[in-house]
């Protein structure tokens, strides 16, 4: 099944009267899964991608699930890529206009030839907020001589007290290499408007001085404060904070590995998963509110 011919069958909510066994049976029938894989998908929890299906199966699968009052959708990669591309914001200022509050923005790149623009508070349709995690793990190789020496010490200590054996094994392990892991958290927010624009704020790259009366120490606190302002000015805007509970498709998660004579480094980031989730949420709320019609 190629990427262009598959859909991400997603369940947001199972029918309330369904037990886990009913969910397994319903998913197996809708997605054409065997009971074992259907059970695994159900146990992973929702909301999330429960199966990859061929596009030709999509309408029948959704029809079956929706007939039982499950909330489901099955976007294709094409559907997700059709979501508005994010405009990275550098700063925001709030102005009061006769028709209501207006946000004026500056961006990090040109949009239709301009680095500035505006949108009214009444145009905001959806806010998607998340804290993303990225990590880097490094395994360093030790020298062969050191490892061999440690192994020899451990062998010679075979008849000696356990403390000596433990010390020899510890020395061997230390000489043979080491590992370390670092984790970084980043704050991110996507804003969708009713005229199909998408604005992105990355906490550490946004200038809060023009919009907040008082800046906080951390990007998270600053973005939380800005989120309150945005929602306060746009009471009809939908807010989604469900990224951490979402079960993304395995083909979206990415880990990059590089190896040298000194060791191996693995890097992972939730950024691709958030890009998927944000576009998915936009499609979902358009469907639920009828905005996609």
Q: State residue 47 phi and psi, 5-degree precision.
A: -75, 150
The stretches of the chain forming alpha helices (DSSP H) are: 20-31, 35-44, 58-67, 77-81, 144-156, 162-176, 219-233, 271-289
* Rounded mean pLDDT, 139-150: 55
| Average pLDDT of every residue of the chain | 85
Task: With beta carbons less than 8 A apart as the criterion, state whether 54 and 7 touch.
Answer: yes
**Maximal CA-CA distance, the chain:** 89
126 in Cβ contact with 159 (< 8 Å): no
In this prediction the pTM is 0.79
Name the pairing type of β-strands 86-97 and 198-202: parallel
Question: Closest Cα to residue 105, out of 238, 229, 220, 206?
Answer: 206
Question: Could you read off the pLDDT of 273-292 as tens digits, one per residue?
Answer: 999 999 999 999 998 888 76
Say if CB 172 and CB 153 are below 8 A apart: yes
Phi–psi pair at 151, nearest 5 degrees? -65, -40
Nearest to 263 by CA among 160, 79, 171, 138: 138
Confidence of residue 148 (pLDDT cuts 50, 70, 90): very low
User: For residue 23, how many other CB atoms are within 10 A of its CB?
Assistant: 22
Please state, in angstroms and rounded to a whole number, the distance separating the CA atoms of residues 74 and 252. 15
Q: What is the pLDDT of residues 161-183, one digit of tens each?
A: 454 445 444 555 445 678 888 88
* DSSP letter assigned to residue 84: P
Asked whether residue 7 carries a pLDDT value surpassing 80, the answer given is: yes
């Amino acid at each position: 099944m190629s990427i262009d011919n598959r859909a991400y069958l997603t369940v947001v909510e199972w029918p309330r009267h369904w037990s886990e066994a009913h969910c397994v049976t319903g998913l197996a029938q809708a997605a054409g899964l065997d009971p074992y894989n259907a059970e695994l998908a159900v146990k992973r929890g929702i909301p999330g991608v429960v199966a990859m299906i061929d596009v030709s199966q999509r309408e029948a699968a959704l029809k079956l699930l929706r007939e039982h009052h499950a909330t489901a959708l099955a976007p294709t990669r094409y559907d997700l890529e059709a979501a508005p591309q994010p405009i990275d914001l550098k700063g925001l200022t709030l102005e009061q206009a006769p028709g209501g509050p207006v946000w004026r923005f500056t961006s990090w790149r040109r949009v239709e030839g301009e680095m500035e623009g505006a949108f009214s508070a009444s145009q905001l349709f959806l806010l998607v907020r998340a804290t993303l995690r990225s990590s880097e793990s490094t395994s360093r190789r030790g020298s062969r001589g050191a490892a061999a020496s440690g192994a020899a010490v451990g062998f010679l200590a075979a008849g000696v007290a356990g403390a000596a054996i433990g010390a020899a094994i510890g020395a061997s392990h230390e000489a043979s290499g080491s590992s370390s892991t670092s984790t970084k958290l980043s704050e991110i927010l996507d804003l969708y408007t009713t005229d199909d624009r998408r604005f992105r704020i990355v906490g550490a790259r946004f200038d809060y001085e023009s919009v907040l009366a008082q800046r906080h120490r951390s990007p998270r606190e600053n973005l939380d404060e800005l989120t309150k302002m945005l929602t306060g000015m746009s009471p009809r805007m939908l807010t989604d904070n469900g990224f951490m509970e979402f079960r993304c498709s395995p083909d979206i998660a990415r880990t990059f590995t590089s190896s040298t004579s000194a060791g191996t480094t693995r890097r992972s980031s939730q950024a691709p998963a958030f890009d998927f989730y944000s576009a998915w949420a936009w499609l979902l709320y358009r469907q639920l509110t009828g905005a996609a019609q």
